[in-house]
Amino acid sequence: MKLYCANDYGFACFRPTAAVEWWAEYEGIGILGGRDVVAGGTWMACSRDGRVAFLTNVLELHSIPKAKSRGELPVLFLLSSKSPREFAEGLAKEAHCYNGFNLILSDISLNTMVYISNRPKGEAVVVQDVSPGLHVLSNAKLDSPWPKAQKLGQGFKEQLVKYGEGEVRVKEIAKKLMRDRVKADKNRLPGICPVDWELGLSSIFVEVDTPLGRYGTRSTIALAVGRNGEVGFNETYLEDGTWKEKTVNYRIQSQKLRQLMDI
């Protein structure tokens, strides 16, 4: 199984975050990712044994007060020994405790990927396998036809065609696609929140001024997992008003690697 991901993540600029690193308290397990310093969770992380999890929030007008932190979900999966589907089915029973989320769970060695979402409200929690191919996840359900999702999917597809059978440089693809500040037409917005807010969020790269300060893209991640078990995690992140870059490379642990190379 090969996996290529290019992700943008937005936060309020006053909310402290940490760049990608190996988490010291889970040294034995090996969790790699950025971190929300306030709640302790993450938006995307992976592990030494070939598991990957990433998260987006669902755009909605109202939130649940005192809800559990969605950022804990990728961490809980990486700490778990359950398969992606087993974990998702267990999470479905308490998904109502969280504000709206989309969560992708993958075990590279098992060649599996699962998507779970607890929205729309009032409907059954969605748990589904993610088929091989190109998928885009924004702030609605997987592969929803939102303008920036469609634009990003088409752009990624065109970049993959250019590489053909050669080595895909996800980092370069992310640099080309994820800095797009062009906003969608107002008549194509989903109509969930006030128009001005949705318009601000409609570009791939987000920059919005709010009464509490700036909200926008603070992390762009390019993740590549090869069939040989080599993992490259590149993050371009905003720190103290300056864009910085960090790359961590590692190899999936030997037992898992043997399973991976047999697929």
Say if residues 260 and 252 touch (Cβ distance below 8 Å): yes
CA distance 32 to 34: 7
Q: Which residues make Cβ contacts (< 8 Å) with residue 149, sequence separation at least 6?
A: 136, 137, 138, 140, 143
Domain range summary for the chain, segments of one domain joined by +: 3-262
pTM: 0.94
Burial readout 88-104 (b: 16 or more C-beta within 10 A, e: otherwise): beebbeebeebbbbbbb
Kindly tell me the number of DSSP H helices and DSSP E strands found in the chain.
6, 12
Q: How far apart are CA 105 and CA 8, in angstroms?
A: 17
111: left (phi over 0), alpha (psi -120 to 50) or beta: left
3-state secondary structure of 143: coil
Q: How far is CA 214 from CA 13, 201, 211, in A?
A: 6, 12, 8
d(CA 234, CA 221): 6
Instruction: Give the architecture (CATH level 2) of 3-262.
Output: 4-Layer Sandwich (3.60)
3-state secondary structure of 111: coil
User: pLDDT (tens digit, 9 = 90+) per residue, 115-163?
Assistant: 999 999 989 999 999 999 999 999 999 999 999 999 999 999 999 999 9
Instruction: Provide the pLDDT for residue 13.
Output: 87
Instruction: Please give the C-alpha separations between residue 225 and each of 21, 105, 174, 229, 249, in angstroms, as whole numbers.
Output: 17, 14, 15, 7, 10
**Positions in the chain short of pLDDT 70:** 1, 254-263
Orientation angle between helical segments 72-79 and 84-92, nearest 10 degrees? 130
* CA–CA separation, 133 and 131 (whole Å): 6
Q: Where are the alpha helices (DSSP H) in 28-146?
A: 72-79, 84-92
